Amino acid sequence: MQALTKFMDNSESLRVSDGDMDVIYAIGLNEYPTATEFVNAFSYRYDKSASGVWYALKKLKKGGMVDFTEKGEEQKPLGLTEKGMQLLRSGMATAVPRQQAKQLANAKSSSKMVVYG
């Protein structure tokens, strides 16, 4: 079962899932300049479908959390908006994405060393 966080500001509310928070955290790292590069890397790294990552990005864009270029729009880099940065800083975003936290927990229990990079 996915946990949902309800983000509210003066205008509207947006339900943000754990997966959405992983996306927000990853975008906050500023590793990928375009949404396409981000989707390809994120879906590969976390074994998620590209269409699911695109869906999350579009949902977060509609909610005012992220900004990126879509068809017909002027070129702009992928990034968090002020609202997205506020959510990231608020502590609702995990310091380590869930997938990495699970890998770390599994590594500790099996006494294997895991290198992230």
Is pLDDT at 36 greater than 60 in this prediction? Answer: yes
DSSP state, residue 73: S
Q: Quick one: pLDDT at residue 72?
A: 82
Beta strand 79-80 with 4-8 is: unpaired
The sign one gets for the Cα dihedral 31, 48, 88, 67 is: positive
Give percent of the chain with pLDDT exceeding 70: 66
Name the 3-class secondary structure at 5: strand
Is pLDDT at 117 greater than 70 in this prediction? Answer: no
What pTM value is reported for the model?
0.68
Confidence of residue 115 (pLDDT cuts 50, 70, 90): very low
Ordered by start, the domain boundaries in the chain are 4-110
**Any idea which of 2-6, 12-16, 82-86, 103-107 has the lowest mean pLDDT?**
2-6
CATH architecture of the domain covering 4-110: Orthogonal Bundle (1.10)
Confidence of residue 111 (pLDDT cuts 50, 70, 90): very low
Q: Quick one: pLDDT at residue 4?
A: 46
